[in-house]
Amino acid sequence: MDHQERECRHRHDLLQAGSSQQAPEFALTAERQTASFSGRGQDPQIGASDAGIFPGAIEGNQLPLAAEAVGVYRSAEKPDILPLGQILRTYLVAQVGEELHVIDQHTAHERVLFQRLWRGWQSRDMPSQPLLIPVPVELSAAQSALLLTRSNELEKLGLLVEPFGGTAVAIRGVPVGLGKIDAALLVQDLLDDVTEWDRASSLERRVQPVLASLACHGAVRAGRVLTHPEIQRLILDWVEEGLIMTCPHGRRTAFRLSTDELAKLFGRVGWT
Ligand SMILES: [Zn+2]
């Protein structure tokens, strides 16, 4: 297994594995960051001071999927960002405002892409970019039929799915702005998403999982070395989207330590 496999655990997995039975809710709620050191229940809560430091930082336990993050910052309110680099080819380290951030490059990028897709969908602006070489994906007859009966609706999301001989399908286009996509893996997730459509209570609940799948597959993967400009761009985009602490599937995007928390960790009372 390499990083071509699914990065984000799909919501079905999350629902099966998690103790909270949120079904049929899409996993939009996520824990507020309250990491404590393992096995040491008495440790102070680390990183729980999101609210108030930056305007628009998420308060409380609910992390809505999209609405909350739109237009969070006015330019004067943006925190300074000092990107420090990438570690383990997976995490980005930065000082953001007065905080130390360790950011998961995949989930943070996925969140950024999702917010953009969501805004695009809301404003009915979902241009598609053609894939130069459509990759045929072999499916069962039932799977193929299921996907193709939804192709008109998927097209409104910038996703062009067409028959490719026999029971195979090909993805001929995806929304603009996504990275390189593994068509076979995307199709698997789309099948899961579309299967749930009949049970979805609203159009939004149909659309969100598909956009989340697109964002997940279009986002940079763990294991990829990023250049400094890429690191800078990703952190800036994530901050501008409102420092949302989870990807749309509920996985954490960052770990944050405030100045106070750092001082507490080191038993620091002054500047000496
Ligand atoms: Zn995800």
pLDDT of 266 reads 94
Which domain does 139 fall in, by range? 11-265
Residue 1 inside a domain? The answer is no
Lowest mean pLDDT among 39-53, 75-89, 198-212, 241-255: 39-53
Residue 120 inside a domain? The answer is yes
- The rounded Å distance from CA 141 to ligand 1 centre is 29
Residue 272 inside a domain? The answer is no
**ipTM for the complex shown:** 0.94
Residue 5 inside a domain? The answer is no
Residue 271 inside a domain? The answer is no
Residue 89 inside a domain? The answer is yes
3-state secondary structure 209-239: HHHHHHHHHHCCCCCCCCCHHHHHHHHHHHH
Residue 229 inside a domain? The answer is yes
- The rounded Å distance from CA 8 to ligand 1 centre is 4
β 160-163/128-130 pair status:
unpaired
- The rounded Å distance from CA 44 to ligand 1 centre is 28
| Number of independent structural domains in the chain | 1
Residue 6 inside a domain? The answer is no
> How confident is the model over 55-79, as pLDDT tens digits?
233 333 333 443 333 333 344 578 9
- The rounded Å distance from CA 42 to ligand 1 centre is 31
Q: What rounded mean pLDDT belongs to the chain?
A: 78
3-state secondary structure 143-200: HHHHHHHCHHHHHCCCCEEEECCCCCEEEEEEECCCCCCCHHHHHHHHHHHHHCHHHC
Residue carrying structure tokens 């909270």: 20
- The rounded Å distance from CA 223 to ligand 1 centre is 16
CATH code: domain of residue 244: 3.30.1540.20
- The rounded Å distance from CA 10 to ligand 1 centre is 7
> How confident is the model over 86-129, as pLDDT tens digits?
999 999 999 999 999 999 999 999 999 999 999 999 999 999 99
> How confident is the model over 160-211, as pLDDT tens digits?
999 999 999 999 999 999 988 999 999 999 999 999 999 998 999 999 999 9
Mean predicted confidence (pLDDT) in 28-41: 31
